[in-house]
Amino acid sequence: MDERARRASGGRDKSRRPSATGAASLDPAIGETLVPADELQGRVRDLAGEISRDYQGRDLVLIGVLKGAVLFLGDLMRYLEVPCEIDFMAVSSYGSETDSSGVVRILKDLDASIEGRDAVIVEDIIDSGLTLQYLLRSLRARNPASLEVCALLTKPERRRVDLPIRYVGFEIPNRFVIGYGLDYGQRYRNLDYVAVLENRGG
């Protein structure tokens, strides 16, 4: 069953694991599907394969950026074939609802030190890049053995700073997207696919 048929059926496809997607798909704010669930899973599995090859015999700690990276991190770590630890940071970026200012506040810091360890920041989406720029500065100052970035999505058209992003899931056009961790007003994070937000502000 393809994604459209599955959504039209209210998500009642017994071959897929249960999710809240069915009921939520009736919401008119959920627009065109940009990345269907099976494509997400396939790409996340590939990224985990790359990371597993690159981090063999190393001391990997995945740093999930709350809250958007929760689903991505959860799936990514399941597919990894190397040992890893996870830790989380929560940051809030000052600015309007749609544009971050680059002034970032740490709401929750890491539980443990990353000094001498191989850290990978796991982010949902890189938009202007300002939030990530701040995170990279803050984490580099803690002297990890290495520091890389793994982002599920990037919007290259929106980039304001050039940053080294080692692992990228999908490049997407300049649209506001929801699902698979990404929210609008804290909702829609539980969709198992990425969709365009419809009629924002209209």
If the CB atoms of residues 1 and 66 are measured against ligand IMP, the closer one turns out to be 66
Q: Exactly one of 24, 76, 125, 191 binds ligand IMP (CB under 6 A); which one?
A: 125
Site residues for ligand IMP, 81-110, by CB under 6 A, read 93, 100
Q: What is d(CA 68, CA 180) in angstroms, rounded to the nearest whole number? A: 8
* 1, two tokens: 């069953």
- Candidate segments 23-31, 63-71, 143-151, 164-172, binder of Mg ion by CB under 5 A: 63-71
Per-residue mark of binding to Mg ion, 127-146 (x: CB under 5 A): --------------------
Partner from Mg ion, ligand IMP, none binding residue 176, C-beta < 5-8 Å depending on class: ligand IMP
Please tell me which residue in 75, 118, 124, 127 is annotated as part of the active site. 127
d(CA 139, CA 134): 9
Q: Does 182 bind ligand IMP (CB under 6 A)?
A: yes
Work out whether 126 is an interface residue with ligand IMP (CB under 6 A). yes
Please list, in sequence order, all residues whose beta carbon lies within 8 angstroms of the beta carbon of residue 73, skipping any fewer than 6 positions away: 62, 64, 86, 122
Token pair listed for 177: 């997207």
Report the C-alpha gap between 53 and 50 in whole angstroms. Answer: 5
Residue 139 near which of ligand IMP, Mg ion, none (CB within 5-8 Å, type-dependent): none
95: number of Cβ within 10 Å: 15
Q: Which of these ranges, 21-29, 43-51, 130-138, 140-148, lies near ligand IMP under the rule CB under 6 A?
A: 130-138
| Sign of the Cα pseudo-torsion (149, 99, 89, 69, in order) | negative
Q: Would you say 124 or 192 has its CB closer to Mg ion?
A: 124
Q: Which of 11, 68, 144, 181 binds Mg ion (CB under 5 A)?
A: 68
Could you give the dihedral angle defined by the CA atoms of residues 49, 52, 53 and 55, in that order, rounded to the nearest 10 degrees? Answer: 150
Asked about 127 being catalytic, the answer comes back as yes
Cβ 189 vs Cβ 71: under 8 Å: yes
Bridge pairing between strands 85-95 and 177-178: unpaired
**Residue 130 binds ligand IMP (CB under 6 A):** yes
Contact positions vs ligand IMP (CB under 6 A): 68, 93, 100, 123-132, 176-177, 182
Active site members: 127
